[in-house]
Structure 1
Amino acid sequence: MGVSMITGRQAIAEVAQAARGQQRALDELDAQLSELRTQQQALLHQRAEQLRSLAKLRIELLETGASGSLDRAEAEAAQWLKQRDAAAALVEQQIADAQAGLDALERERAAQVERLQAAADRLDTAEAAAQARLASDAAYQSQLERAHEAERTALHADEKATEREQEQVTKGSRYQADPLFMYLWQRGYGTADYAARGLFAWLDGKVARLIGYADSRLSYQRLLEIGPRLRAHAERMQQRAEAEIDALRALDEAARAADGIPALDHACDQEQEALDEIDQRIDAVQQQLQALREQRALFASGQDAQSRAAIDQLAQALGASALKALERAARATPMPEDDQLVANLVEIDRQQRRISFLREQTETTRAKQQERLKELTQLQRELRQRRMDRPGSEFDDKAMVAMMLANFVNGLLDRRSLLRGLEEQYRYRPPRANPAFGSGSYRRGSSWGGSGRGSSGRGGFGGGGFGTGDGFGGGGFRTGGGF
């Protein structure tokens, strides 16, 4: 069975689905934390009730006003919790509104992607038709052959010049390392520039004969001269090649203009700009949702200001010295009326420790889930920015993409590693038009050693001829380019 591929749009949809699943898991953890918080508050109230009952059994301690302080603390705690519930309800409504807005934007984006796909298809169809026409145009094919031949000649000339320049460095160093040879060379011995007379000329001649300077000078001179001549020739061939390629590019551009391709190209750009604007709005809403969910997490875990005030108020009252003394006395007395109340307090303590442990574990899990959701959201943003859902984008192995996403969600793969894995799987396959057609196969300044003029716009070097894609991370849906 062959490997099943997946389109770029399908792959990003898989990421979005994983993000939604992560959000559902996060919602469940928030609900669990909220329930644990409610249970913890209920245990505080149960503890207060048990201590009230103990106080009624010991009338003498009622005179301290301990029971009254509990009533006041519970009343104040109730007010704090009422404020907390109102604030939490507002955050929930804001989350619902933001999520509804995000869902609407995602639907708008899907529709815009369809419009962009249609524009890209029209552009690709027109480019393919122009290419087919030029492929059978004798004048165009003749110019194409001249461009190819000029390029081959320029490449060969550049290789020969580079080879001789390297040879000049290698062989020239041996001459330059000989102090006697360089002494005579620098004085111009054996040339019309040599000016020494008398004894100095006699001594220089003796040295020249001793080291065989005459033959070495001619060899070194040829070594120094041939490199620049070959490089000058290579530069002339490069200029000739560029002129032929410019002529080919002009034919490309004329054919594009005749078929209305620039207008289709511009329409594609406009659809891409509209998609970019939607993506910016999606990013803004996602950031807003992240901030709101962090607020909800505080309410769910009881870490918001109102919940902390309510718990602190009641805990402070329960820790009052009079109530502590009451509890110690109840534990020490043999009175049977106290036994059940004390047993209840012991059970409440045990439940409080259990809930505290569960809350700690749940909050730890939630923090990991929250970080994973943030990573998934960032991954969606990066995939969109890199245009990995543009028409013609696909991934080689659907099962591999699914496995990498699963490993990422489960914490076995980080975002950078996932992106690298997706890059290896990614392919861009234009449906019809050939991005290397005509002048699109040339990259000025990089094929040969000259400085060139760099990459320029569509239909020329770097633009891909009839393929005008910008590659991975570049802008827009195009029929050419790569990852």
Structure 2
Amino acid sequence: MSIRGPEALASLDEAMRDIRREEDEISKRLARSAERISKIGETEAELFRQLAQLRLDPAVQAELDGRISQAEVKARDMLKAHARNLSQTEKELAAIDGALARSTELRAAALKELDARQAELKALAGRMGASIAKEPAFAAKRAEARELAEVAAQSMRKTEQAEGDREQKGKPYREDPLFTYLWERGYGTSGYRVNTLIRYLDSLVAGLVRFEKARPNFAMLNEIPLRLREHAERQIGNAQQAEAELDALETQAIDAAGGKPIREALEAIHARIEAIDHEIVLAEDRRDDTAGALAGLSEGKDPAFADALAALAAGLGREDIQTLLAEARRTRTGQDDTIVAQIDDARTRIKDEDSETREQKDRLKTLAARRRDLEDIQWEFKKQRFDDPRSTFREERLVGDLLNDFLRGGISAATYWGQWQKSQNWSAGTTDWGGGIGLPNNGRGRPDRGGGFTWPDSSISGSKPRGGGFGGGGWNRPSGGPSPGGGFSRPRTGSQGTRKSGGGFTTGGGF
């Protein structure tokens, strides 16, 4: 059973909401833990006061009590300010989440409207398709476009083969350090300029590796793919020009048949969706920064909070206080033992809180990285218009087991996105209004021109949308998907900047 584009995107949106929800929950747990640690510190301070009352004379006791109280007052004031900052940041994050939810709803509504308009277009094409397909000018231009597209496809296949040969056959040359040394120095070319001694020594090396014979072969392996790619690019340009001319003829036919309002409505919907997507990116980046700030506050990284705890810890860590505790341990009285046991218990609880906090901090970092990975995937998904109502996916596991594997860190973001690309197709009964000749749109491998205008298979083109370019590779150009280096094209406007995790996180909990 296939999955339609809007439903697929909705599943990714739901996964994103789950990640954000767990991030919020962990941040709150961390904040509560930090608050508990501060309260335990205050309890420990009170226990030292009680111990001082039992073991010290009034003058020393008053001095010690004053130092502890001073540290407590300073810590309490700082902690109040920290709590206010924490509350304000939580409110900001909630407001951003609300804005993202509204944008997602608006976008889903726009996709439904797009689906309805595309149905109107399909009905129109059914009425006029046969007549326009028989018009001599259109038929000639379509034949020309298809012929040029095939020429471009053949040129690209030859280029790919030559590039493969360059990689495979050139490997022995590149792995030979002596050959590489001479090649990089430009030995045997007009650019080779060294003194007489070096020239003589290099000539011995050249004779050893038979450089004079090997050099032209390696040069040809490198040069041929470059020339073929230049030729292929020119052929692609010719094919795309013919396609544009075919589009113009179809637009004229559409408008003449009364389809201009539909076409303009589709263009307006796509413009609206792009505007929403822009706002989503900005909101996601604001959220990323705000979530990072909240995590810092929750983890106690706020300078004021850290200073507060440090001041209290410093007060309780003074040498005279530690001496007081050590002497109380050496003597055996009921009251001393009870207070010392309570102090030990307080310190044990702080250690336990610290241990749990470290785990929660690691989990929060993992979730933040996974969220940004999913934002990258959603960006590519929308950029290639995989969420279009005509887009379908053969593999149901993309929103099931494979999604869970990605969220748990079992597969990288690039691998998961690659599975989406492999599974995607355009539903039967539609074809791009470029004549179904297999041309890409701006290198993105998706319906694009004219607001996503399409014709049914039975009307004009008799083919599917040009979703995959040649060989399913969109002309084999790096496009909307991950770059050869494994990155994504989503812009990052926040302080986090561009970043890529390798997908190697191992997560637990909800994912």
Q: Is TM (by shorter chain) over 0.5?
A: yes
Give 1:26-41 correspondences, 5 Å limit: 26-41=23-38
Contact 2:436 2:466 in 1 (8 A): no
Give 1:250 shift.
Answer: 8.4
Measured after TM superposition, the shift of residue 82 of structure 1 is 0.8
Deviation at 1:478, TM superposition (A): 3.4
2:466 matched to which residue of 1? 481
User: For the structure 1 residues 61 and 365, does the alpha-carbon distance in structure 2 shift closer, same or farther, using more than 3 Å as the test?
Assistant: farther
Matched, 1:42 2:39: yes
State the match for 1:10 in structure 2.
Answer: 7
SS of the aligned residue for 2:409 comes to coil
CA 1:350–1:146 in structure 2 vs 1: closer, same or farther (change >3 Å)?
A: closer
Q: Once the two structures are superposed, what CA deviation does each residue of 1:147-204 show, in whole Å capped at 9, x if it has no partner?
A: 58x969x98xx99xx9xxxxxxxxxxxxxxxxxxxxxxxxxxxxxxxxxxxxxxxxxx
- Aligned partners of 2:447 and 2:466 also within 8 Å: no
Q: 2:388 corresponds to which residue?
A: 390
Q: CA deviation at 1:31?
A: 2.4
Displacement after TM superposition at 1:141 (Å): 11
CA distance in 2: counterparts of 1:142 and 1:26, whole angstroms:
56
Matched to 1:287, the amino acid is D
Alpha-carbon distance in structure 2 between the residues aligned to 1:250 and 1:94: 48
DSSP 3-state at the match of 2:400: helix
Give 2:387's aligned amino acid: D
Q: Structure 2: which 5+ runs fail to align?
A: 159-238, 455-464, 469-511
Pairwise CA distance, 1:21? 1.0
Distance 1:358 1:147 in 2: 69
1:25 maps to what in 2?
22
Superposition map of 1:92-171 within 5 A:
92-134=90-132, 137=134, 140=136, 147=143
Q: Would you say the 8 A contact 2:6–2:108 is kept in 1?
A: no
Provide the aligned length of Structure 1 versus Structure 2. 369
Q: Please say which of residues 79-88 and 29-38 is displaced more in the overlay.
A: 29-38
CA deviation after TM superposition for structure 1 residue 266, in Å: 3.5
Note the C-alpha offset of 1:321. Answer: 2.0
> CA 1:246 to 1:119, structure 2 compared with 1: closer, same or farther past 3 Å?
closer
Q: What are the residue-to-residue correspondences of 1:81-96 with 2, within 5 Å? A: 81-96=79-94
TM-score normalized by the length of structure 2: 0.64
Contact 2:23/2:364 (<8 A) preserved: yes
Question: Residue 300 in 1 paired to residue 298 in 2?
Answer: yes
Q: Determine the C-alpha separation between the residues in 1 that align with 2:419 and 2:387.
A: 16
- Structure 1 residue runs without a partner (length 5+): 163-240, 444-461
Question: 2:328 matched to 1:354?
Answer: no
Measured after TM superposition, the shift of residue 260 of structure 1 is 3.6
In 2, Cα distance between equivalents of 1:307 and 1:419: 41
Larger radius of gyration: 1
* Residues in 2 aligned to 1:83 and 1:116: alpha-carbon distance in whole angstroms: 50
Contact 1:48 1:318 in 2 (8 A): yes
SS in 1 for 2:467: coil
Amino acid at match of 1:477: G
Query: Which deviates more from structure 2 when the two are superposed, residues 126-135 or residues 247-256?
Result: 247-256
2:264 partner letter: H
Name the structure 2 match of 1:472: 446
Q: Assess if the C-alpha contact under 8 Å between 1:395 and 1:422 holds in 2.
A: yes
What's the RMSD between the two structures over aligned residues? 3.6
In 2 relative to 1, CA 134–352 (structure 1 residues): closer, same or farther, beyond 3 Å?
same
Amino acid at match of 1:111: A
Cα displacement string for residues 337-356 of structure 1 (whole angstroms, at most 9, x for unaligned residues): 21111122222222222221
Answer whether contact 1:469 1:482 (CA < 8 A) is retained: no
Aligned twin of 1:199: none
Say if 1:59 and 1:120 are closer, same or farther in 2 by CA, change over 3 A.
same
Paired with 1:314 and 1:250, the residues of 2 have a C-alpha distance of: 76
1:66 aligned to which of 44, 64, 71: 64
Please give the per-residue CA displacement for 1:194-253, whole angstroms capped at 9, x wherever unaligned.
xxxxxxxxxxxxxxxxxxxxxxxxxxxxxxxxxxxxxxxxxxxxxxx9xx9999888756
Match of 1:440 in 2: 435
Give, in angstroms, the shift of residue 318 of structure 1: 0.6
- Could you tell me how far 1:474 is from its partner in structure 2? 5.1
Match for 1:56: what amino acid? Q
1:144-293 equivalences under 5 Å are 147=143, 255-261=253-259, 264-293=262-291
Instruction: Describe the SS at the equivalent of 1:389.
Output: coil
Contact 1:95-1:293 within 8 A present in 2 as well: yes
Measured after TM superposition, the shift of residue 28 of structure 1 is 2.1
Sort the Cα spacing of 1:132 and 1:331 in 2 relative to 1 into closer, same or farther, 3 A: same
Say whether the 8 Å CA contact 1:84–1:306 is kept in structure 2: yes
- Find the aligned partners of 1:246 and 1:29 in 2 and give their Cα distance: 53
Q: Take 1:59 and 1:253, find their aligned partners in 2: how far apart are those partners?
A: 96
User: How many Å separate the matches in 2 of 1:245 and 1:93?
Assistant: 51
Q: Is the 8 A contact 1:36 1:355 kept in 2?
A: yes
